[in-house]
């Protein structure tokens, strides 16, 4: 993994059309692409692409840009998915805030089912994972956890911008 990634999400005031989806897909592939590069890919002028990207940012469809980093290259070779079962009196918002304070928690998902949250944890070693799980279990509102250690990642963060259509169609 490497390069940069575009973060997409949030409410939109109008529909996202096929050109917007093409622009988003191109930005997800290369968040550093110029407006001219994007224009060539989607068949618009650089100024038209600039205007569309500005609208996508202003309406919250594009919420940011960031570098995509290989976790093992920065010493984070262990990934685990941790299901969090709350206590009966736990407040989901407070629990989520507390989970966000743990630097090793990379992602936090509110889910349906017996657990309330599933978090993705990245650490350097299994010993670090054990210490992280101890901190996580001491958070008020956490009744118990279930941990799945990731053996390998086949793909992650794959863009899904085509609204149900396979990429390359539209």
CA distance 122 to 124: 7
Q: Is residue 113 part of a domain?
A: yes
User: Which of 59, 84, 109 delimits the end of a domain?
Assistant: 59
Q: Give the CATH number of the domain where residue 87 resides.
A: 3.30.70.920
- Are residue 51 and residue 110 in the same domain, yes or no? no
Q: What is the pLDDT of residues 134-149, one digit of tens each?
A: 999 999 999 999 999 9
CA distance 166 to 144: 39
Token pair listed for 12 = 């939109």
- Are residue 47 and residue 117 in the same domain, yes or no? no
pLDDT confidence tier of residue 166, bands split at 50, 70 and 90: very low
Torsion of CA 109, 123, 160, 59, to 10 degrees: 70
pLDDT confidence tier of residue 15, bands split at 50, 70 and 90: confident
The pLDDT value given to residue 74: 96
Closest Cα partner for 73 from 7, 124, 132? 124
- Are residue 83 and residue 125 in the same domain, yes or no? yes
> Average pLDDT over the chain, rounded to whole?
88
- Are residue 96 and residue 141 in the same domain, yes or no? yes
The pLDDT value given to residue 6: 62
Whether 20 and 61 have beta carbons less than 8 Å apart is answered as yes
Q: Give the CATH number of the domain where residue 25 resides.
A: 1.10.10.10
Q: Is residue 90 part of a domain?
A: yes
Q: Is residue 9 part of a domain?
A: no
DSSP H stretches of helix in 12-83: 18-29, 35-42, 46-58
Range of the domain at 129: 71-150
- Are residue 78 and residue 126 in the same domain, yes or no? yes
- Are residue 127 and residue 82 in the same domain, yes or no? yes
Q: What is the pLDDT of residues 39-69, one digit of tens each?
A: 999 999 999 999 999 999 999 999 999 888 9
Count of the separate structural domains present in the chain: 2
CA distance 8 to 87: 33
- Are residue 39 and residue 96 in the same domain, yes or no? no
Q: Is residue 96 part of a domain?
A: yes
pLDDT confidence tier of residue 170, bands split at 50, 70 and 90: very low
């Amino acid at each position: 993994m490497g390069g940069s990634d575009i973060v997409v999400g949030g409410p939109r005031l109008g529909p996202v059309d096929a050109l917007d989806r093409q622009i988003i897909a191109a930005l997800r592939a290369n968040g550093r692409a110029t407006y001219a590069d994007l224009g060539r890919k989607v068949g618009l002028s650089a100024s038209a692409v600039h205007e569309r990207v500005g609208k996508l940012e202003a309406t919250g469809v594009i919420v940011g840009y960031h570098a995509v980093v290989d976790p093992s290259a920065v010493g984070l070779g262990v990934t685990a998915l941790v299901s969090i079962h709350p206590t009966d009196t736990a407040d989901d918002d407070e629990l989520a805030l507390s989970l966000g304070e743990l630097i090793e928690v990379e992602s936090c998902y509110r889910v349906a089912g017996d657990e309330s949250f599933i978090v993705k944890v990245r650490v350097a070693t299994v010993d670090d994972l054990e210490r992280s799980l101890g901190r996580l279990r001491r958070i008020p509102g956490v009744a118990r956890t279930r941990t799945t250690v990731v053996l390998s990642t086949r793909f992650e963060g794959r863009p899904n911008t085509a609204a149900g259509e396979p990429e390359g169609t539209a």
